[in-house]
Every structure is written in structure tokens, then in C-alpha cells.
Amino acid sequence: MTQKTNFYIWNDDSVASCAELLKAGEVVAFPTETVYGLGADASNPNAVTKIFTAKGRPADNPLIVHVSSLAQMEEYVTDIPAQARKIINTFMPGPITVILPSNGVIADNVTAGLATVGIRIPDHPVAQALIEATNRPIAAPSANLSGKPSPTSAIHVYQDLHGKISAILDGGSTGIGVESTVVDCTGGVPTILRPGGITREQLEIALGIDIHVAKPDVAELPSAPGMKYKHYEPDVPLVLINGDEHFFQEKINTYRSEGRKVGILISEQLANALAADLVQVCGSRDELATVAAHLYQALRNFKTEDVDIILAEVYPETGVGEAIMNRLRKAASFIEIQ
């Protein structure tokens, strides 16, 4: 069913209007420091259902809850272990989510029926103002159609969800560009369930221990977003190219010889070395944060009328490169290795 989607520019009045919509059980898209989120009152299961409906998201894929402070976080969990407190004190507000035991206040469809909840304090003035004005926990996955590249601007949200949600609160482009790191803090040693804006190396320095990165098991219920289902897919198939520039150009030529229009998703370092039908540069290999910031925008720039296939560069899996490659693998159909 189509509904009117109000488009607001960020100011005090628009935050107040969006807070009233959230308190009334509606869904509102808003910016965070990672990507735009699609928010609903996390204690209201009927409101949360509207998130799943708008996105077309599977119901067994849990949502992350956004709060404004540690004190508010404590209202929704039974315990915050010492390692989790160290993560919170070191990195929040910021692009990191901790998995903690839920006390049952958060709606079951937020946690996908699990006894745990993913929760974070975002580091964005719009998100913080909206949570404070609402004075409720806000469940918010990325504000895009399920499986598609996440939105880093309000126009991305409009393209995917116009007519499906109550409002979009435009606070400009997001900064980090990939979602928060998700860390399970319910066991003895914290485990990364999804790499993101805070790197494994940063966590290991802060905690003084080695951090394990979990591999998704599609047979199990996911305990964090991004562990089970295919994500971030552009409009046309994407293939990862793991090889030097000569190998990359050979693959471009092969696909073009088959009559396909080829787009390439590459770094600045390869921009002048390769020839294709459409080139999207998403950042520098020397500063992987620039790749993370522009990855989803670049993926969205490829349209079916422009190319038939996308060939994408592979990046080193250090620092935020781990999050970049996590997203590219989930978007890819397969990988070509030299």
C-alpha cells in the first residue's frame, strides 16, 4: 500500500515532527554516522513490523537498537559484562554495536526471538537529537530495500522507500559509509559478528586481547544483521577480480568480447590503467576509509541500462578493508582469481 512520505530537512522542528511520528508507531528514515537507518519504536512490535514490510526484510534477521546513552542502554539489558563496558566507554558514541542479554523490554521481532539484543549509541547529531526527542529506543536497520546497497544519502532512501514509509529526515551524506561493527559480548571473549566502522585492530588494542571474527552459518538463526542473507547487491551482477591490472583488463576484454557492457568498480590507483564501458572510482587503496565512504554510492551508480556486469577490485583485509571486503563478498556473484 502506498502512503505519503514526508521529506524533512534537519532542524529542531523537523526532529520534533519525526519524533512524534515515531511515538505514534510510524517509521522514519534518519542519518547516522554509518548509513541512513529506518527507525521505529523498538518497544512497539506493531511499529517494528512496518520496518520489515517496507524493506521486504526476512523476519529472522534481527535489528539493531539505537539509544542515546549508557543509562538508556541499561534499561533494556540484564547485564553489561566488563569487556562490553570497556567497548562502550572507548568507542561509543560511534560505529559499533554490542550484543547483550535482553531483559525483554525490546520487542521480540527486533531480536528475532533471541534472548539477546544488539544495541549502540550513534555518533551523529541528527540521530542523537531524534532519540532524545523520542525518549524511546529506536530499532533501525539500513533504510534501503532488503538486499540492495545501503543508503548514504537521503536521496538513496527516497529512491528505495518513497511511498512505503512515513518520513525521511535529511541530514546530509553520512560519513563512514559502512554499517557499525557488531560485537557479541555474551560469551567469554568478545566476537565480531560483522566487521564495520571500528576495526578488529582497534578492538584488540582497547581490550588487550585477540578478537575472533565469526563466520556466518546459514543453517542457524543469525544473531546479528548481515550474517545470513545476501546483501548490498547492485542492479546488475558483480564479480570480484583478484589479480593484477593485466589480469583485470583481460577479464574486462573477455566479457566485452561476449557482447556485454562492462562496468568496473575500482580505486584511484587503477583508474588510469583499465579501460571499460563505465568506470566508478570509489576511493584510494592508500586510504581505505575513502573506499568505505563511497562504496555504496558507487554500487548504486551502476544501472541496468548502462552495463550488463560489474567487475570490482579486491582490497587488503586490514583495518576497515575487512568491512569493505565483507560487503563486496555479499554483493558478488563469484570471484575471478589470477
Helix intervals (H) in the chain: 12-23, 45-55, 70-73, 82-91, 108-111, 125-134, 154-161, 200-207, 245-257, 288-301, 321-331
Q: What is the CA radius of gyration of the chain?
A: 20
- Does 11 count as an annotated binding residue? no
pLDDT at 231: 65
CA distance 37 to 128: 13
- Does 285 count as an annotated binding residue? no
This prediction has a pTM of 0.92
Domain ranges of the chain: 6-213, 238-337
- Does 85 count as an annotated binding residue? no
CA distance 50 to 280: 34
- Does 181 count as an annotated binding residue? no
* Cβ neighbour number for residue 248 with a 10 Å cutoff: 24
- Does 120 count as an annotated binding residue? yes
The pLDDT tens digits of the residues spanning 140-174 come to 999 999 989 999 999 999 999 999 999 999 999 99
- Does 78 count as an annotated binding residue? no
- Does 34 count as an annotated binding residue? yes
CA-based torsion, 95, 99, 104, 110: positive or negative:
positive
Q: Identify the architecture of domain 6-213 in CATH.
A: Alpha-Beta Complex (3.90)
SS3 state at 86? helix
| Alpha-carbon dihedral angle through residues 98, 172, 315, 300, given to the nearest 10 degrees | 110
- Does 180 count as an annotated binding residue? yes
Q: At what angle do helices 200-207 and 82-91 cross, to 10 degrees?
A: 120
Name the CATH superfamily, with its identifier, for domain 238-337: Threonylcarbamoyl-AMP synthase, C-terminal domain (3.40.50.11030)
The pLDDT tens digits of the residues spanning 281-306 come to 999 999 999 999 999 999 999 988 89
- Does 300 count as an annotated binding residue? no
- Does 61 count as an annotated binding residue? yes
- Summarize the confidence of residues 250-260 as an average pLDDT: 97
